[in-house]
């Protein structure tokens, strides 16, 4: 399962330091990171994803393959709003038209593209065209009960800035 840390998550660094995630940041040139708070001192620091050993007490590693620069976890991590995974079918708004897309990959921190957030590469289910989507363009995930406002709020740090 591919995941991203969100505000309120508990992480543990490779050196064993327990921290609480405050937000995501794209300001590290070596890859995505979170701003996290030391649970005992309250001091904040920037922690790169590749420095995170555990998220909510589960071991994580940097994802490769169908997800780039995200975290990967063996098994399942219960989330208030699950992140769509490669192979999932979503509805998304592209050029003011809602269509059905099949997710092919997820990516964070694209070089030379500042503040793009989470990039969702997907294939148009009807025409086969590949598109890049942002969190804010998702209208529905796998036909489940889906609340777009809650989903967008939960992953707001990963949405393309300025995208409606």
pLDDT digits (tens, 9 = 90+) for 124-145: 999 999 999 999 999 999 876 7
**86: which 2 tokens?**
């490669």
CB under 8 A, 24+ apart: contacts of 63-68: 63/2, 66/2, 66/104, 66/105, 66/106, 67/2, 67/105, 67/106, 67/107, 68/105, 68/106, 68/107, 68/108
For residue 32, pLDDT over 80 is answered with: yes
Sign of the alpha-carbon torsion through 50, 65, 78, 147? positive
pTM over 0.85: yes
Mean pLDDT value across the chain: 89
User: What's the pLDDT band for 28 if we cut at 50, 70, 90?
Assistant: low
């Amino acid at each position: 399962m591919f995941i991203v840390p969100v505000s309120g998550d508990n992480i543990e660094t490779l050196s064993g330091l327990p921290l609480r995630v405050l937000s995501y940041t794209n300001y590290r040139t070596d890859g995505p990171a979170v701003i996290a708070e030391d649970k005992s001192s309250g001091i904040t620091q920037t922690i790169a994803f590749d420095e995170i050993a555990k998220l909510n007490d589960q071991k994580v590693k940097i994802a490769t393959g169908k997800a780039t620069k995200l975290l990967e976890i063996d098994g399942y991590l219960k989330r208030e709003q699950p992140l769509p995974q490669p192979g999932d079918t979503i509805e998304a708004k592209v050029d003011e038209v809602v269509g059905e897309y099949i997710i092919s990959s997820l990516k964070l921190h694209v070089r030379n593209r500042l503040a793009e957030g989470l990039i969702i590469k997907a294939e148009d289910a009807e025409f086969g065209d590949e598109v890049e989507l942002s969190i804010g363009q998702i209208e529905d995930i796998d036909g489940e009960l889906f609340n777009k406002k809650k989903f967008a709020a939960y992953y707001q740090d990963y949405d393309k800035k300025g995208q409606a």
